[in-house]
Amino acid sequence: MNDFALIGPILAAMFAAATPLLFAALGELVVEKSGVLNLGVEGMMLVGAVCGFAVTIQTGSAVTGFLVAALAGAATASLFAVLTLFLLANQVATGLALTLFGVGLSALIGQGFVGIPLEGLPKLYIPGLTDLPVVGQALFGQDIMVYLAVAAVPLVHLFLYRTRAGLVLRAVGENHTAAHALGYKVLRIRFLAVLFGGAMAGLGGAFLSMDYTPMWAENMTSGRGWIALALVVFATWKPVRAMLGAWLFGGVTILQLHVQGLGIDVPSQLLSMLPYLATVLVLVLISRDVARIRLNAPACLGKLFHPDA
Amino acid sequence: MNRRTMGKAVLGLAGAAIALSVGMGAGIGSALAQDKLKVGFVYVGPVSDHGYSYQHDQGRLAVEKELGDKVTTTFVENVPEGADAERVVEQLAASGHKLIFTTSFGFMNPTLKVAKRYPDVKFEHATGYKRAENVATYSGRFYEGRTVVGAIAGKMTKSNIIGYIGSYPIPEVVGGINAFTIALREQNPKAEVRVVWVNSWYDPGKEAEAAKALIDQGADVIVQHTDSPAPIQTAQERGLWSVGQSSDMTRFGPKSHLTAIIEDWNGYYVQRVKAVMDGSWKPIDTWGGINTGMVELAPYNPAIPADVVKMADQLKADIVSGKRHSFQGPVKDQAGKVVIPEGKTATDEQILKMDWYVEGVQGKVPK
């Protein structure tokens, strides 16, 4: 096969690989914009993955499965919200605990669901368009969740930057004391943002267990939650950049597998490392530009807020 | 075999459960009967993995079934390789277990350390190479299974490109690729093998991505030396062939799954427990192939033509009878140099240290 002909399949695989990252990163982006740092993305993804899978097996309905996955992610996130927002627990420690908790809880729930196969979602097929060379499969041959993830990007952007609610959310993230003084319910807004983040992480996880590799296995997210977290910083808290970052990450992942298959002599360990290396590199680069960080990073990120203080 | 635990993060939680289960096992065992042999098993993954640890646990259940009330068994799952393992093995030894199976490569040194402190307890360590007065080792010649699979793949491929998903470039996996490729090209000299390493034993997402990449490069048979059924699902979706690993994975791709290489410890575990009971146990090394039942193939896909099934069965029979060896000379490396001369077979040491590819494999072994 002509190596040039591989570009199409690589692009198609890249968009799919980016989808779980994109869901989780968009959710976390909104959470962080409200001034909360939730490191429990991996845990919420796993709980979403197992619940979505279990419900789909029981009901046979993928729509119900994804809805339950979102709810389960949000429910897991609500634990974090209660602990950090109302009981003022440390956000970093609680987030890490949430990941550990999610790994354990999902393994427990999933005990009876290991080794059961599931049909994935059908792929879009538009005669003519899907058959287009190079871009056909990538743009018109994906399943609905891939498109939904991309569609969520402008929606989140519009919400954050073009609606009053988004403005308030950002204000809370920038200066919770001032927002509180103006009469905004800081804790309620943050609570809702954390729930949204959980729901999106749940969807990202469910994409893995119900569609990408339709099965349940313990710890099947394999660190994608952490990558999503890194993507938020990578994107300097901008939704469109988060999408580009997810694509870049997905693309490097897929590309390194192709490079190996073609027998190009590069150490596979190095190639496996590449996506992470790219993340670190970008983090270093943007960290040098303090002005940009300050412009976009929520000033109250990770800071506890008490209405009486 | 350096099995990685899947649920490393669960271990904090698991720690408490381990202590509890071992404690309970001890309590029940001593309360019931004094002369019952207590047998302990230590697993690196969860028994629910439907793969590596699951197969070991099937062996434990076979022991219970065969020896009934003469034994009590205890297992501890999700044990990380390292310091925690020593604590778990020690707890088993201290709570009266007289025979302990530690089933992952990384349990080697912990097992030997504990064995020194408990000279009257017998230990069995899987896939390791260090033995002692009271420590035996055992493993399977899984490459024999790969020989049979390679021959089948040679007959089934149309594109003459085989996609091979590797976990880590350790001798066991590299040797498997070589055994596969030799048999593949005996049936089909034009076929070649492309290898993608995912650097994980278990990452469904990455394994699926690797399968997709190989298929997009023209592979029409996907072979894996990783543990998740994700590559089977991917091959099924694309309407191509696949070969499963560790356990029968047919249900993940009934139209795609040609067969799988299965690790079967049942017979060995029963035999070793009996040996401890009648006092004939010795700290030996067992490396069993298809002939011992340790290595088996899952039922063939009904779509495989009858003459191919016949050829595979004959090959299996020849391996069992010793007429055929997986690494039977002449075997050439990628540069065309004869490494195993005509009339010779690879020594066990050569197999255990294999770090080069045979002719027909694309790319280089990562160093």
CATH at A80 = 1.10.3470
CB contact under 8 A, A260 and B363: yes
The separation between the first and the last C-alpha atoms of chain A, rounded to the nearest angstrom, is 67
Task: Give the separation between CA A184 and CA A168, rounded to whole angstroms.
Answer: 8
pLDDT at residue number A306:
84
Which residues pair with residue A303 across a beta bridge? none
pLDDT at residue number A260:
87
Distance (Å) from the alpha carbon of A259 to chain B's nearest alpha carbon: 9
Structural domain includes residue A306: no
Structural domain includes residue A284: yes
Express each pLDDT in A248-271 by its tens digit: 888 888 988 888 888 887 776 777
Confirm if B264 and B295 have CB atoms less than 8 A apart. yes
Q: Number of folded domains in chain A? A: 1
- B35 class by beta-carbon count within 10 Å (0-12 exposed, 13-18 middle, 19+ buried): exposed
CB contact under 8 A, A260 and B10: no
Query: Which of B163, B218, B252 is the closest to A215 by Cβ?
Result: B252
Confirm if A109 and A46 have CB atoms less than 8 A apart. no
Query: Which of B8, B213, B233 is the closest to A261 by Cβ?
Result: B213
Structural domain includes residue A99: yes
Give the distance, in angstroms, between the CA of residue A137 and the centroid of all CA atoms in the same chain: 23
Mean pLDDT rounded to a whole number for chain B = 88
pLDDT at residue number B10:
39
Task: Give the separation between CA B147 and CA B178, rounded to whole angstroms.
Answer: 9
Give the distance, in angstroms, between the CA of residue B139 and the centroid of all CA atoms in the same chain: 8
Q: What is the ipTM score, two decimals?
A: 0.86
Of the listed ranges B42-46, B190-194, B314-318, the one predicted with least confidence: B42-46
Highest averaged pLDDT of the listed ranges A259-263, A296-300, B308-312: B308-312
B241 contacts chain A (CB < 8 A): no
Q: Which tokens sit at B176?
A: 């498997």
- For B15, B44, B84, the CA distances from B18, given in Å and listed in that order, are 5, 13, 11
Which residues pair with residue A114 across a beta bridge? A216
Structural domain includes residue A225: yes
User: Residue A208 sits in which domain range?
Assistant: 2-296
Confirm if B227 and B49 have CB atoms less than 8 A apart. yes
Task: Give the separation between CA B337 and CA B350, rounded to whole angstroms.
Answer: 16
Q: Which of residues 251-280 of B touch A (CB under 8 A)?
A: 251-253
> DSSP code of B294?
S
Closest CA to A240 of A2, A12, A39, A26: A26
Residue range B103-127: average pLDDT?
A: 94
Specify the residue for token string 């996130």: A77
Confirm if A62 and A278 have CB atoms less than 8 A apart. no
Q: Which tokens sit at A198?
A: 């959980």
Of the listed ranges A42-56, A130-144, A157-171, A190-204, the one predicted with least confidence: A130-144
Tally of CB atoms within 10 A around B228: 31
Nearest CA in chain A to B201: A222
Tell me which chain A residues have a C-beta less than 8 angstroms from the C-beta of B251: 115-117
Structural domain includes residue A257: yes
Closest CA to B310 of B185, B144, B148, B157: B148
Closest CA to B365 of B246, B234, B193: B193
The amino acid occupying position B344 is: K
Tell me which chain B residues have a C-beta less than 8 angstroms from the C-beta of A253: 206, 209
- For A152, A207, B297, the CA distances from A18, given in Å and listed in that order, are 13, 11, 36
Residue range B179-191: average pLDDT?
A: 96
Residue ranges with strand state E in chain A: none
pLDDT at residue number A235:
87
Burial A92-124 (b: 16+ CB within 10 A, else e): eebbbbbbbbbbbbbbebbeebbbbbbebbebb
Structural domain includes residue A305: no
The amino acid occupying position A124 is: L
Task: Give the separation between CA A70 and CA A67, rounded to whole angstroms.
Answer: 5
Residue ranges with strand state E in B264-324: 285-288, 295-297
A103 contacts chain B (CB < 8 A): yes
B207 contacts chain A (CB < 8 A): yes
Structural domain includes residue A273: yes
Grade residue A3 by pLDDT with cuts at 50, 70 and 90.
low
pLDDT at residue number B12:
40
Q: Which tokens sit at B216?
A: 């997009």
Tell me which chain B residues have a C-beta less than 8 angstroms from the C-beta of A254: 209, 212-213
A4 contacts chain B (CB < 8 A): no
Grade residue B23 by pLDDT with cuts at 50, 70 and 90.
very low
Question: Is 90 exceeded by the pLDDT of residue B366?
Answer: no
Structural domain includes residue A214: yes
pLDDT at residue number B354:
92
The separation between the first and the last C-alpha atoms of chain B, rounded to the nearest angstrom, is 17
Confirm if A226 and A20 have CB atoms less than 8 A apart. no
